[in-house]
Structure 1
Amino acid sequence: MDVWIYSALTLVYLILVVWMAVNLTRSKQWLTYSSFQLLVAFSLAYDNGIIAAGNVIGEGRLLMVLSSLRFWLHSFATPTLILVGYHILRSSGTKFANRRISEVAAWLITLGLVIYQIVGFTLSEVNHLKVIEEYGVLRYMAEGHGGPPMMVIIVGIVLLLVSLIVLFKHKWVWLFVGTALLFVGQLISLPVETGTLTNVYELILILSIWRTTTFLTDSTDRRRL
């Protein structure tokens, strides 16, 4: 069952990557912080794709190396959602987001989280991978892996605060729903035999972020007309 869910998630992410690329090209947004969403979506497409293909690739060196790249992509890509959050704040018309210090702070937090994740987790994780088979899926996981790391929690808290500002200023609820669902989903254990729930919540979050950035871009364009 899980292999089909991971495969479906991979397909949705790949479609989303193409959709994002087309929209970024049309709106000439490639040089904005919004484009980091493409990196995150691609990294999640890769993550789910390697998990889905685990049984086909089989246990061994190849799957271990491909799985290691999952952890590296996670370390570099996920923190850039801080920059996307900064872009959302600036696009929403939040005054303090237009200050240089806010942009510098966003970069410092992003780079700090990248370094923290690599030094504190990734270097150890990729050297302590073990193969597991769970819910019909074969994959390599880091020994002692459990629960979301602090980096993910910090990124989630920042996005949650951003979502509340957007909700207050624009009555736009979807970013709040996507972010809150990721937190709530970690706290509530649903009676289903699957290991894909967190991955599904991640997809909902990425969709809510993308929909929010396009909503704010469209709103800005309308105000300029």
Structure 2
Amino acid sequence: MDLVIYSALALIYLFLVVRIAAQLSAKRQWLNYAIFQIFVLFSLAYDNGIIAAGRFIGEGELLKGLSGVRFWLHAFATPTLILVGYYILRSSQVKFSKHIITHIAAWLTTVSLIIYQIVSSTLQEVKSLIPIEEYEVLRYTSESLAGPPFMVIIVGFLLLLIGIIVLVKQKWVWLFVGTLLLFVGQALQIPVASTAVTNIFELILMVSIWITTSKALDSQRP
């Protein structure tokens, strides 16, 4: 079952990459912070795709190297969701989001979390990759993994906070719902023989972010 789920997730993420790229191109918004969604979606497509392809690539240095890229993409891409959140906040016409200090804070937080993730986790993770075969997939995971990292928790908390603000301000409910479901999904012990099921909650979050940024794009004056 996991092979099917990981493969499906990779294809859906790639579809979203193309869809959002076309959307931004049509509106001539390539310099918009919403573009960071594409980076995150590509990293998730790669992550799920490499796991799905693991059995076909086979255990060895090639799969190990490709798997190491998964951790690097995670470190660089995930924190940029804060910049997407900043764009959503600014588009919702919240007053404090217009201040330069908010813009600077968004960038400082993003860069700080990237550096923190690399130093505290990624460098060690890519050095301690071990092969694991379970539920129809072969993947390399890190021996040093120990639950949800601090970086992911901070990004999730900020997106939840932004989701609450835009829900109150603009009645845009999807970001709040998507982030809340991510936290619930990560906390629940789902009684299914799978390591891929929880990844579905990441997809729900990314779809909720896409819907919200689409509303933000539509709200902009021509």
TM-score norm. by structure 2 comes to: 0.98
Q: Conserved in 1, the CA contact under 8 Å of 2:82 and 2:110?
A: yes
CA–CA separation in structure 1 for the residues paired with 2:43 and 2:190: 26
Partner residue, 1:23: 23
1:4-34 deviation digits (Å, cap 9, x = unpaired) = 1100001100111000110010111110111
Q: Conserved in 1, the CA contact under 8 Å of 2:128 and 2:144?
A: no
Residue identity in the other structure for 1:46: Y
1:203-225 deviation digits (Å, cap 9, x = unpaired) = 1101100110111221233xx6x
Residue identity in the other structure for 2:217: T
Residue identity in the other structure for 1:15: F
Partner residue, 2:169: 169
Q: Conserved in 1, the CA contact under 8 Å of 2:124 and 2:144?
A: no
CA–CA separation in structure 2 for the residues paired with 1:100 and 1:219: 22
CA–CA separation in structure 2 for the residues paired with 1:144 and 1:124: 7
CA–CA separation in structure 1 for the residues paired with 2:135 and 2:190: 15
Partner residue, 1:81: 81
3-state SS of the aligned residue for 1:53? Answer: helix
Q: Conserved in 1, the CA contact under 8 Å of 2:5 and 2:197?
A: no
Q: Conserved in 1, the CA contact under 8 Å of 2:43 and 2:74?
A: yes
CA–CA separation in structure 2 for the residues paired with 1:6 and 1:202: 12
3-state SS of the aligned residue for 1:133? Answer: strand
Residue identity in the other structure for 1:18: V
Q: Conserved in 1, the CA contact under 8 Å of 2:79 and 2:110?
A: yes
Partner residue, 1:4: 4
Count the aligned residue pairs.
222
Partner residue, 1:92: 92
CA–CA separation in structure 1 for the residues paired with 2:25 and 2:110: 25
Q: Conserved in 1, the CA contact under 8 Å of 2:17 and 2:41?
A: yes
3-state SS of the aligned residue for 1:192? Answer: coil
CA–CA separation in structure 1 for the residues paired with 2:186 and 2:10: 21
CA–CA separation in structure 2 for the residues paired with 1:183 and 1:105: 24
Structure 1 vs Structure 2: percent identity of aligned residues? Answer: 62
- After TM superposition, the runs of 4+ consecutive aligned structure 1 residues lying more than 6 A away are none
3-state SS of the aligned residue for 1:118? Answer: helix
C-alpha RMSD over aligned residues: 0.9
Map 1:4-153 to 2 at 5 A: 4-153=4-153
| Runs (5+) with no aligned partner, structure 1 | none
Residue 198 of structure 1, CA deviation = 2.4
Residue identity in the other structure for 1:13: Y
185-194 vs 100-109, which moves further: 185-194
CA–CA separation in structure 1 for the residues paired with 2:29 and 2:114: 24
| Runs (5+) with no aligned partner, structure 2 | none
1:165-206 deviation digits (Å, cap 9, x = unpaired) = 011011121111100011011111121111112211001101
3-state SS of the aligned residue for 1:139? Answer: strand
CA–CA separation in structure 2 for the residues paired with 1:179 and 1:38: 18
Q: Conserved in 1, the CA contact under 8 Å of 2:13 and 2:45?
A: yes
Partner residue, 2:178: 178
